[in-house]
Structure 1
Amino acid sequence: MDKKLLLKSHFHFIGIGGIGMSALAIGLLKKGCSVSGSDLVKNNETNKLEKLGAVIFTSQVRQNIEFVTSKFTNRLINFVVSSAIKPENEEFSYCKEKNLSIKHRSEILAMLMRTYTALAIAGSHGKTSTSTFLSTILELCTRNSSSITGGIIPIYNSNCHLENTKYLVAEVDESDGTINKYKSDIGIINNIDFDHCDHFSNLSEVISSFKSFAKNSKKLLLNFDCETSRKNFYSNCKWSNSTAKNVAYAIIPTEINSKYTIGKYYENGNFISNLNIPIPGLHNLSNITAAIAASRMIGVDFKEIKKNLKYLKLPKKRFEFRGQIDERNLYDDYAHHPNEIKETIKLGRLFIEQKNNNEFQKNRLVALFQPHRYSRVKQFNKEFAEELSKADVIYVTSIYGAGEGNEDKITSKIITDLIYKKNKNVSYINNYYEVSKNFYELTQKGDLILNMGAGDCHNFWSILNEKNN
């Protein structure tokens, strides 16, 4: 779609409040389009969109579509959906009934990417963090970069920063198979894991999906430390945190603690510099290495990159410190896959180890987990139990279904029963209101509480504050 046609267009988003859909809506508003959208609940994203001029509906009924088609008669109207929108959704079904123009969210992002030198971040884990680190580096080093991501980037305090720039950092989603829509100048694959069992049957199908993404990337940047990527993809541009040999970019860590990471940076096997990075965790170091590598691939001066590393911050909901209540520290993390939980608990341990100098009172790592999707729990219940059992105390809530049916009657009990075989300090708690109600009985002073999941679990801090006030 050319610029003139874009300015004559109106976009209505069915489910506009989601972190990915709202980013696209903001981007289109900044491009001069008119935008409307619906969601059942208002949130920070819908409030932001209203301030930018979007029309927001808090229902999803056919009357919304009738209003849009009658109000914007002088514009080319497109109705935008994500794969989360079910066929029986009243707005969606009415659009199909009336043969209106329906676009998948991937088509909108692909359209926007075509107008930039696009750096697309893909992978099973760490996409939002890598996008955040790359966006920060390019913003500070080039002042010529835009971003559309699935998380809130601290430097912009937004999930979308779309301007008339040369570069665009775009987080691309593999969960529904639409990753083949994206064409990029540099395609980055963080890692590949079996997930999204509602769409993929096995790892081979996931790999096949990423291969279509790789084929559409002019240059491909791969994680050498991911065995699946290493065995199934080829590129001259690889990064590593375990070796400086046979890779283009490497940061070999020499110290990782709860405050920072120190490492030696290499290019093509040659030592370049020591780096002090203000982000802890080996998984975060991998994401930062990818961001540095992508920046170097487009010619950003290394000295500029090194100078600006001190400004790197994690995106929201990625080991995000939410506050302290009566000497209990609460962190939020988006971890919802066993491997993500593994890395998040490992990172939490760094904080616990630093504090455990008092032999009479050992601080505990308390895992509070809301499982996300019945299909994921069914597929990975053993892996969830294995990783969660490594916390000192574990509380598991009911499953956040994310619109899935539950024909197999899957419950969180399948996880808690397996955890109990490894760690007796596990309990099922129905919801976050119950956790809040019994907060002081469930926790103790000195606890580091890791609240993990991809559903509505991140409202816990608000629920807890309401109770305490």
Structure 2
Amino acid sequence: MIIPPPPEIIPAEKLGHVHFVGIGGAGLSGIARIMLARGMTVSGSDVKDSPTLTALRALGATVYVGHDPSHLDGVDTVVVSTAIKENNPEVVEARRRGLLLYSRASALSAVMDGRRVAAVSGAHGKTTTSSMLAVALQHCGADPSFAIGGNFNDTGTNAHDGTGDIFVVEADESDRAFLQYSPEVAVITNVDPDHLDMYESREDYHRAFDAFADRIVPGGVLVACIDDPGARRVAEAARARGIDVRTYGESPEADVRVDNVQLHPLSSTFDLVVDGRRVGSVDVHVAGRHYTLNAAAAFTAGLGLGFPSAQLREGLSSYTGTRRRFEYKGSAGDIRVYDDYGHHPTEMVATLRAARSAAGDGRVVVCFRPLRHTRTKFFHKELGEALGLADEVVVMDPTGDDPIPGVTGALIVPHIPLPAERIVYERSWSAAPVRVAERVRPGDLVLTLGAPDVALIGPEVLELVGGRDDADAGAGDNDQDIRG
């Protein structure tokens, strides 16, 4: 559900009692945390209970499981998740009562009012880059507020109301939300068309990033990855319009250049060269070449905010990651399990390359749950091609939006460039962990990939492989699996 921005954003503290419809989501839960920290009255509802709802209750929110018009008694402002439908009973009641309706973006704008905003956008890497920037700024002695799309590994939270004047926000383009922000520093990690159900065309998607660059306040700076053709095009056009632009990447043309990259199983080391001068190295404790670019983006944004190079680099080296970004989930014997949110083909390729590096001499066994039927419809070929980087693949059906007739995981299977016996399409949720476990053998790395609920399969796989004799490992290698 798309709610247009109000003619004027009211500062958060003047919104009264705020009720969140879909409060358990990554975006709304973070805003609710910040409002609670400011002493505001917060309530919310979601379709099912979760650890996120438990945490919000502990912070003082009134949280309901299920949606009901009575939940709006005493409410002044209603914030609605994009995933909520027009006929939601609380939305219908809010309109009937004439309550102020805010989208996630408008609510974020309200809590960011009066702050120096650093907004991180891009098709991929937003969560990691924005969380890296927040950690780096904290190391510099700042106490920035932040709202990101994933929980920090060390704190388990996705938002913080800081005492400083900087607000780091993950600027989501999926529903054009990022076009409501006015950042001092704007980051574009890449421009790789996605969410084509929300945009008229790939060209329309690209134009939205041009409009985002134009939202930068006077005197601000655009930070863009010169290695990505889409981000580079936006940067060049922005510079031609008089916007201050700083580029980063491995290209010799980058203002902040990533050099001498060394990839390790669980970390990456690289040097930073700023305007032709080597300033030092960074050791980030997350695996994968793409994370070196995320760190460079955070570093460049930190420079744009006026912080010193040495402290920013030290801060990045202390970063420990966010949940569901190649997150280690545990091991059983010689089998390790990781989980990752990657759901777009480009993200999946980057994650699978990192998994391949971390696996060493072992194989990579993937359980993939597509996120959104619409994405599966538009990108099933590319999703399959990305999964070809694994050794064994279990494909599940998509989730996360309304079903589309004929759009299932079976669309992806024919495009996976692996032998048929290395692929299984599993329709049953309860059977998926079994199908993964029967395919793994000692030394393998298991990766659960895609939609949020696929993360639940990893612990079940560990339990299954932990209770068997190693002689049973790999029993699925001879299965006659279906490819559609």
Q: Provide the TM-score with structure 2 as the length reference.
A: 0.88
Decide which moves more: 89-98 or 290-299: 89-98
Residue 296 (str. 1) matches residue 303 (str. 2): yes
Summarize the Cα distance change of 1:187–1:94 in structure 2 as closer, same or farther, 3 Å threshold: same
Partner of 1:223: 225
Structure 1: distance between partners of 2:451 and 2:437: 25
Q: How far 1:7 moved relative to its partner?
A: 5.6
Cα-to-partner distance string for 1:71-124 (whole Å, 9 max, x where unaligned): x5xxxx101102111112121122223332211111010122222111011110
Q: How far 1:131 moved relative to its partner?
A: 0.9
The alignment's C-alpha RMSD in Å is 2.1
Corresponding residue SS for 2:452: coil
Q: Where do 5+ consecutive residues of structure 1 fail to align?
A: 357-362
2:445 corresponds, among 422, 445, 448, to: 448
Summarize the Cα distance change of 1:350–1:437 in structure 2 as closer, same or farther, 3 Å threshold: closer
Q: How far 1:49 moved relative to its partner?
A: 0.6
Summarize the Cα distance change of 1:266–1:438 in structure 2 as closer, same or farther, 3 Å threshold: closer
Partner of 2:422: 425
Decide which moves more: 194-203 or 377-386: 194-203
1:240-319 matches, cutoff 5 A: 240-245=248-253, 247-319=254-326
Which amino acid in 2 is paired with 1:447? D
Structure 2: distance between partners of 1:440 and 1:278: 28
Q: How far 1:2 moved relative to its partner?
A: 6.5
Q: Where do 5+ consecutive residues of structure 2 fail to align?
A: 1-8, 468-484
Summarize the Cα distance change of 1:263–1:423 in structure 2 as closer, same or farther, 3 Å threshold: farther
Summarize the Cα distance change of 1:421–1:331 in structure 2 as closer, same or farther, 3 Å threshold: closer
Structure 2: distance between partners of 1:198 and 1:405: 14
1:37-186 matches, cutoff 5 A: 37-65=44-72, 68-69=73-74, 77-186=76-185
Decide which moves more: 340-349 or 429-438: 429-438
Corresponding residue SS for 1:291: helix
Summarize the Cα distance change of 1:302–1:214 in structure 2 as closer, same or farther, 3 Å threshold: same
Structure 2: distance between partners of 1:435 and 1:116: 46
Summarize the Cα distance change of 1:232–1:120 in structure 2 as closer, same or farther, 3 Å threshold: closer
Decide which moves more: 288-297 or 307-316: 307-316
Q: How far 1:248 moved relative to its partner?
A: 2.2
Q: How far 1:161 moved relative to its partner?
A: 0.8
Structure 2: distance between partners of 1:465 and 1:60: 36
Summarize the Cα distance change of 1:118–1:420 in structure 2 as closer, same or farther, 3 Å threshold: closer
Contact preservation (8 Å) 1:237, 1:248: no
Contact preservation (8 Å) 2:189, 2:297: yes
Which amino acid in 2 is paired with 1:319? F
Partner of 1:32: 39
Residue 346 (str. 1) matches residue 353 (str. 2): yes
Corresponding residue SS for 2:324: coil
Q: How far 1:276 moved relative to its partner?
A: 3.3
2:412 corresponds, among 405, 415, 431, to: 415
Cα-to-partner distance string for 1:23-65 (whole Å, 9 max, x where unaligned): 0001111122100000111112111110011001101122222
Corresponding residue SS for 1:50: helix
Structure 2: distance between partners of 1:333 and 1:54: 29
Which amino acid in 2 is paired with 1:220? L
Summarize the Cα distance change of 1:254–1:466 in structure 2 as closer, same or farther, 3 Å threshold: closer
Q: Provide the TM-score with structure 1 as the length reference.
A: 0.90
Partner of 2:472: none
Residue 336 (str. 1) matches residue 338 (str. 2): no
Instruction: Give the percent of matched residue pairs that are identical in Structure 1 and Structure 2.
Output: 27
